[in-house]
Chain A
Amino acid sequence: KAGVTQTPRYLIKTRGQQVTLSCSPISGHRSVSWYQQTPGQGLQFLFEYFSETQRNKGNFPGRFSGRQFSNSRSEMNVSTLELGDSALYLCASSPGGNTEAFFGQGTRLTVV
């Protein structure tokens, strides 16, 4: 079974631009969640989608948004990028409920 796939792996953007990151979950998994990892803040929860519905959202500004498609693939978007948005963005998939979440390799975003 293929794992969680995130694209692209690396991205360099300029302040003020927007970016879209993609995540393909493990086949059959309906829950996709997103996390941001920075050296100072650790792994912070962004949001979670289940069957195309956002079920939960972390404490991030509205510039961070996401969506999930009918095939469970998910995208997250960050608009008006700031230097502080530079981080490793991680996507995780799970069947749903209290089960293990499996992470992709992440997208390393650098904002210059």
Chain B
Amino acid sequence: DQQVKQNSPSLSVQEGRISILNCDYTNSMFDYFLWYKKYPAEGPTFLISISSIKDKNEDGRFTVFLNKSAKHLSLHIVPSQPGDSAVYFCAGTGGSSNTGKLIFGQGTTLQVKP
């Protein structure tokens, strides 16, 4: 049972344009969501998070949108830069059975072309 899904394995965008990475979840107990960026053979780097009481959170070039009714969140990167090329994971947590536990999607590989 995959509770967090990133349906696009890969995404390619031009430098300077917007990157939009999508994530769907099924567990209605989730009340906190996070996005991580990961390079091969390294640990994930935290990017941005959002609580379920909000529908938007911004941090510099990164904005996360949450649509609770659709159980969908997205990460917008504007403008995209070649250094943003990496694998992006979304994760959800919340509910007593998920104490201290992040449930990750399978990741989306973003390539930003110069």
Contacts and interface: CB of A to CB of B under 8 A. Distances in A.
Interface of A: 4, 6, 31, 33, 35, 42-43, 45, 48-50, 55-56, 58, 88, 90, 92, 94, 96, 98, 100-106, 108
The 8 closest A-B pairs by CB, nearest first: A48-B100, A103-B43, A43-B104, A98-B32, A42-B106, A103-B44, A45-B101, A106-B43
A56 B101 contact: yes
B100 A58 contact: no
B85 interface: no
Nearest to B33: A98
Given A88-B41, A100-B49, A43 B101 contact: no
**Interface SS, A side:** strand
A104 B43 contact: yes
Given A42-B105, A56-B97, A56-B100, 19 more contacts: A4-B43, A6-B43, A35-B102, A35-B104, A42-B107, A43-B91, A45-B101, A45-B103, A49-B100, A55-B99, A55-B100, A56-B98, A56-B101, A90-B43, A92-B102, A96-B100, A103-B36, A103-B43, A103-B44
7 contacts: A6-B43, A42-B105, A43-B91, A48-B101, A49-B100, A50-B100, A96-B100
B101 A103 contact: no
Nearest to B45: A103
A98 B30 CA distance: 10
Interface residues of B, number: 27
A95 B39 CA distance: 25
A101 B99 contact: no
A56 B101 CA distance: 7
A98 B97 CA distance: 13
A90 B35 CA distance: 16
A105 B45 CA distance: 9
A48 B44 CA distance: 17
Contacts of A92: 43, 102
A45 B99 contact: no
Contact of A90 (B44, B94, B100): B44
A35 B49 CA distance: 19
